[in-house]
Amino acid sequence: MKHKTNRPPTRKRFGQHFLHDKTVIKHMIDVIAPLPSEHLVEIGPGHGALTLPILKKAGTLDVIELDRDLIPFLKQRCMDKGNVIIHQADALSFDYLQLIKENQPIRLIGNLPYNISTPLIFHLISYASHVKDMHFMLQKEVVDRLAARTATEHYGRLSIMVQYHCSVQSVFHVRPDAFSPPPRVDSSLVRLVPYHTLPYLAHDYEQFALLVKTAFMHRRKTLRNCLKQLISDEVWEMLPIDPHLRPEQISLSEYVKLSNLLEKLAS
């Protein structure tokens, strides 16, 4: 009789969908291509589906796991497989700077809980200058938003803010049956690579972020109506952007240009 591994229960409140398809796992590891010389950090290791093959190639790995019940199981699975440093913490509030050693950039990996993926991505891009790359399994719709181009259905605040910091590539799609329990949506692996030099530099980043956030609060309205609390009609007359366009019709470079012009006019 085959011995059944006593796995901790899945917790819906953590949005857990554990990856188990070996073909998908192998494809992910091939794409990530971990090396022993790199500082790898896995977010939400779960049952260790990615952890073990990464350890086999890299030898050492930091992992961030919120679910206390998973940690003993993970330690047992990784015993004698390599050096695993477990941080019992919430990835949404974790300070990733504490992982930086000798200015070596980190590589972030994870099958992320779908219920926190968007706020987590926003948290992680604040560390972009310390990150070499990120590979995440996410809900396909979120990856479509990350990679979206101007004037397309999925283009919005998330697209602009992430593309300001990173190049974005949707690598491959995954069906629900690759996970346990299966989610109700398809998934995708996304690769985010922070820029060494930003293609477009906002002189006042906080103002730029507020501008984009405010614009997409009412994306079906015109820019003039969306941004009336930030830009007066008189100022619109001095700007080279049509105020009758909608927020999704303005490119990243144009939002940066608009932010910089407003900053210049205010000084």
**Count of beta carbons in the 10 Å neighbourhood of residue 177:** 10
Q: Are 181 and 259 in the same domain?
A: no
CA triple 236-242-244, angle to 5 deg: 95
**pLDDT score, position 2:** 39
Residue 258 and residue 181 share a domain: no
Tell me which residue has tokens 């479509």: 144
231: in domain: yes
Instruction: Tell whether 199 is covered by a domain.
Output: no
As beta bridge partners, residue 40 has 107
**Beta pairing, strands 39-43 & 60-65:** parallel
Tell me: do 64 and 119 sit in the same domain. Answer: yes
Q: How far apart are CA 101 and CA 243, in angstroms?
A: 47
Spatial contact of 94 and 134, defined as CB atoms under 8 Å apart: no
Tokens of 46: 């779960």
Residue that is last in its domain, among 168, 194, 220: 194
Q: For the chain, 267 residues long, give each residue's pLDDT as a single digit of tens.
A: 333 446 655 544 444 688 999 999 999 999 999 999 999 999 999 899 999 999 999 999 999 999 898 899 999 999 889 999 999 999 999 999 999 999 999 999 999 988 899 999 999 999 999 999 999 999 999 999 999 999 999 999 999 999 999 999 999 999 999 998 899 999 999 999 999 999 999 999 999 999 999 999 998 899 999 999 999 999 999 888 999 999 999 999 999 999 999 998 887
Beta bridge partners of 194: 166
pLDDT attached to residue 44? 93
Query: Are 106 and 100 spatial neighbours (Cβ–Cβ below 8 Å)?
Result: yes
Residues 84 and 60 in one domain: yes
List the structure tokens of 156.
Answer: 């919005």
Radius of gyration from C-alpha coordinates of the chain: 21
Residue 126 and residue 166 in one domain = yes
CATH number at residue 102: 3.40.50.150
Token couple for 49: 């589906």
* Residue that is last in its domain, among 160, 194, 228: 194
Same domain, 154 and 242: no
| pLDDT at residue number 14 | 45
**Residue 158: CB partners within 8 Å, gap ≥ 6?**
118, 121, 122, 142, 145, 146
Q: Tell me the CATH number at 224.
A: 1.10.8.100
> Could you list the residue range(s) of the whole structural domain that residue 247 is in?
205-266
- Whether residue 2 lies inside any domain: the answer is no
Sheet containing 106-111: give its strands across.
83-88, 60-65, 39-43, 106-111, 131-139, 187-194, 166-174
CB-based contacts of 76, cutoff 8 Å, min separation 6: none
Are 51 and 152 contained in the same domain? yes
Residue holding tokens 């948290």? 123
Q: How many domains does the chain have?
A: 2
| 21 and 121 housed in the same domain | yes
